[in-house]
Chain A
Amino acid sequence: MINKQQVNHIAKLARIELKEKEIGKLREDLSSILDYFNSLKKVDVSNVEPTFHPVEYYFKERLDVMRQDRAESQPEQVVDKLIAAAPDKKKRHIKVKAVFK
């Protein structure tokens, strides 16, 4: 069973603060889900390449299609709406807590 320190470590990576009660429940839930994954241990995958994406598989020839690396601006009214959605802002700037001391 996955221990309390492990749960806390993952929660820190995931940026989620957990209550004591949640930690206990997550230990149980994650352990039973991870047990379910054990069935994969039986599968021999030596010399098997991973499939990260289904499009790779259908369209091998167009995998490297990229658009030009050029910024394309959104219409002003969309930009206004995007800024309006930010919880904390000053004019057309989004406010963030100081990162450097």
Chain B
Amino acid sequence: MSSVASQSPEFPTRRLAVVSSGLSQPSSTRLLADRLADATVRRLEAEGVETEVRLIELRDVAQDITNNLLTGFPSPRLATAIETVTEADGLIMVTPIFTTSYSGLFKSFIDVLDPQSLTDMPVLLGATGGTERHSLALDYAMRPLFSYLHAVAVPTSVYAASSDWGSGADAGQSTLPDRIERAAGELAALVRVSERSTRIVDPFALPNGFSPVGGYGAQ
């Protein structure tokens, strides 16, 4: 899936990674992920920024994630998914809320990432659930997780309960499309100026002050 806008020399193509950890196929989690991605791409398009979207359904790599937890290394397929996420300019992370929090599969995927790899990453957080009662899980579970990882979570996160897919405008209440638009606008603003996908990371960079003879104070 990709969207093409007029090429802007000022802003090279941005990479947006979308992670959906819905378990059924199709899932409402994937539905929300797609709506968030489309809205973000449209916002960037309006700014003249071309965006390449890569979607990862964690269900497809669920076995690989478990194996990585056990062996300590990712299969080639999972390694590709991890690179897609860590080398993006922005992320959309959507999970179902299970038993008051993000799903176990979602957290397991986070657990196989290098904890430093999402530093400075613009992230839009989304969640789905049966009822509105779990919407605060975004703020007490999802948001602290990404704060710990030093990612930049946009202020608006989007929760979609089953009823949201059939609700119209109500006095004083925003609809799901309103919330999607607002969150997408916030993410697009950060992705537009992100340079993450063009960064070159040296995996062998030595820490400052390192000396092979014990530069930590030995003489």
Say if A and B assemble together: no
